[in-house]
Amino acid sequence: MSMVWVAAPMPHQPSWNSKAITATLVTIQQEPELEGWYLDELEARSSGTRPCKPIPPPIDGSTRIGSMRISLIYDLQNTSNADYVLATPQSADIVQMEELRGKHALAMTQALAWGPKQTLIDWVGSARILIPAHETVRVVFEIEHEIFDAHFPCFVQSEWTPAAQRKFVEQVLSHLEKFMLFDKVHHYRIELPVPDFTIGSSPLQIDTQPTGRP
């Protein structure tokens, strides 16, 4: 007697819902944090006591001169009829990805942290966020990007201007079309658009100066 094996049909995978939670970019802010040894170098250059030349790395061999905290502030609107809770960045229920500009290709990332607007900066990424049905909640998404001396060769203190900082932020974000959060529980896709800085329009808000000293 012959037997015929019939493959079971693959379970239907629902499409990702990108309409339930929508995001509108409000502004982008930044907070630079420079290393103390690099601030000393900038002051020496500004006073004329040290010529402008590539900075030798510190004793530990690092060329890192600081970091830039970039805050992308979005209004998240819940268009569904049910309350929604955005899990923390550390949750296994959320997959972070980014869409590369001009390529429409996705890349995995773990760069984003987030938290409710107007919480202490150290709390960002530590709390779940409730977005009630048919309501809008302002949320801060943050990236921390390391700065190396090669980014700002032969800088002096007076050149560490808001315009220079803005240019650095634009370079960091210029390759991105959007960030995406895939919620595996609800099957939601939350799209966080990034401005196209090549067309000259930007919502950047520059209101901080370099820090780093205790």
Q: Predicted confidence band at 207 (pLDDT cuts at 50, 70, 90)?
A: very low
What integer pLDDT is reported at residue 60 of this predicted model?
Answer: 58
Domain boundaries, the chain: 21-205
Lookup result for tokens 């079309």: 177
What integer pLDDT is reported at residue 210 of this predicted model?
Answer: 44
Q: Predicted confidence band at 16 (pLDDT cuts at 50, 70, 90)?
A: very high
What integer pLDDT is reported at residue 206 of this predicted model?
Answer: 45
Q: Predicted confidence band at 208 (pLDDT cuts at 50, 70, 90)?
A: very low
Residue whose C-alpha is closest to residue 69's, from 161, 149, 169: 169
Residue whose C-alpha is closest to residue 28's, from 97, 74, 66: 74
196: which residues sit within 8 A by CB, 6+ positions away?
101
1-18 in b/e form (b: 16+ CB < 10 A) is eeeeeeeeeeeeeeebee
Say if CB 33 and CB 69 are below 8 A apart: yes
Average pLDDT, the chain: 78
CA 87 to chain centre: 17
What integer pLDDT is reported at residue 212 of this predicted model?
Answer: 47
Lookup result for tokens 């590369």: 100
Q: Is the dihedral of CA 123, 175, 74, 17 positive or negative?
A: negative
What integer pLDDT is reported at residue 77 of this predicted model?
Answer: 98
